[in-house]
Chains A and B, each alone.
Chain A
Amino acid sequence: MLAVNVRKARPGFTLEAQFAAPTPGVIALFGPSGSGKTTLVNLISGLLAPDQGYVRLGDAALTETAAGIDVPPERRHIGYVFQDARLFPHLSVLGNLRYGARRARGRAAFVAFDELVALLGLAPLLARRPHQLSGGERQRVALGRALLSQPRLLLLDEPLAALDAARREEVLPYLEALRDRYALPMVYVSHQFEEVLRLATHLVLLQGGRVLAHGPVSAMSLDPALQAVLGPDLSGTVLEGVVSRAQGPDDTAELRLGAGTLQASLPGVPAGARVRLQVLARDVILATQPVQGLSVRNALPGTVREVRSDQFGALVTVDVGGAQVLARISRRALAALALKPGDAAWCLFKVISTRGHTFRLPGS
Chain B
Amino acid sequence: MLSAWLGPPVAQALWLSLAVALRSLLFSLPVALTVAWLLARRRLPGRTALDALVHLPLVLPPVAVGYLLLLLLGTRGPLGAWLNSTFGIRLAFTTAGAALATAVMTFPLLVRAMRLSLEGLDPGLEEAARTLGASRLDRFASVTLPLVLPGILAGLVTAFAAGLGEFGAVITFAANIPGVSRTLPLALYTAMQSPDGDAQAMQLVLVSCVLGLLGVSAAELLARRLRRRLGR
Contact = CB atoms under 8 A, between A and B. Distances in A.
Contacts of B230: 89-90, 131
A80 B131 contact: yes
B133 A47 contact: no
Given A104-B133, A149-B133, A86 B127 contact: yes
Contact of A82 (B128, B133, B229, B231): B128
A174 interface: no
Nearest to B229: A90
B2 interface: no
A123 B133 CA distance: 24
Interface string A57-100: 00000000000000011111111101010101110000000011
Interface string B127-142: 1111111110010001
Contact of A88 (B125, B135, B138): B125
Interface residues of A, number: 28
A94 to B, nearest CB: 15
Contacts of A131: 230-232
Contacts of B133: 74-75, 77, 100, 103-104, 149
A131 B227 CA distance: 11
Interface residues of B, number: 21
- Most chain A beta-carbon contacts within 10 A, residue among B122, B127, B138: B127
B143 A88 contact: yes
Contacts of B135: 74
Given A82-B124, A82-B128, A89 B134 contact: no
A130 B134 contact: no
B178 interface: no
Contacts of A7: none
B146 interface: yes
A86 B124 CA distance: 7
A78 B131 contact: yes
A278 interface: no
Contacts of B232: 131
- Most chain B beta-carbon contacts within 10 A, residue among A78, A103, A129, A130: A103
Interface string B90-131: 000000000000000000000000000000001011011111
B131 A45 contact: yes
A90 B146 contact: yes
B147 interface: yes
Contacts of B146: 90
Interface string A103-132: 110000000000000000000000001111
A99 B122 CA distance: 17
A37 interface: no
A145 interface: yes
A276 to B, nearest CB: 30
Nearest to B133: A103
B132 A86 contact: no
A-B residue pairs, 9 tightest by C-beta: A131-B231, A103-B133, A100-B132, A80-B131, A86-B128, A73-B130, A89-B230, A90-B146, A149-B132
6 contacts: A84-B124, A88-B125, A88-B128, A88-B129, A88-B143, A130-B231
Interface of A: 45, 47, 72-80, 82, 84, 86, 88-90, 99-100, 103-104, 129-132, 145-146, 149
Given A72-B130, A75-B133, 9 more contacts: A77-B133, A78-B131, A88-B125, A89-B229, A99-B129, A103-B133, A129-B231, A131-B230, A131-B231
